[in-house]
Structure 1
Amino acid sequence: MERFIQQYADKAREFCPDIPLHVYPHMLRRTRATNLYQNGVELALVSRILGHAFLDTTRVYAKPSLAMMREAMDSLEAPKTRDEKPLWVGSEEEMAKLCGLR
């Protein structure tokens, strides 16, 4: 199975060079679980989908996205006024690097 997935990843890399050199089945499982969590699926449900007996096993996949972190921080701040300008008007990826998140 691993060799089969690696062959497809090698072919796909021609069109998407961001695909890692080494791709394996658990990487796909881990990525899907993280994406489910980051898209709002409750961790308990992700745990059931993965077949984990304990929620703590699933917490490894619970990495918040930048949007999740921003939403959490915004929920603590006072509402913005209409004429307030954003402090950052750049790339989310660049901001993540500056904050040491990437």
Structure 2
Amino acid sequence: MRIKFKLNQEEFIIQVVDNNWKPGYSCKSDIEAIIYLISSMAINKTYKKLFNTKIHFSEPNVLGFNNEIIVEQLQEEVLFFQFQIIAHDIVIFVTH
């Protein structure tokens, strides 16, 4: 999966990559092509390299996950969604 977006007139492309059987995230704007463990780290570290600033972007908003159309497209043909329930400091993770 790849997502393309613009920040400060610079085009970023975040891509999910294989990182020794774990998901990793690479930012195509990153000259060094480093694989990060989480996509927000890829976005923020690359932005810092390009613009020399410590601004922090929220991953869901930057990647468009606050846009209902994008979310619906990502959910097409997905049979089950993992989720977690948190109650009284107890975390229950439900997966299939």
Alignment TM class, shorter chain as reference = under 0.3
Higher strand share: 2
Question: Which structure would you say has the larger Rg?
Answer: 1
Normalising by the residue count of structure 2, what TM-score does the alignment of the two structures yield?
0.24
More helix by share: 1
- TM-score normalised according to structure 1 size: 0.23
Greater relative contact order: 1 or 2 (C-alpha under 8 angstroms, separation 6 or more)? 1
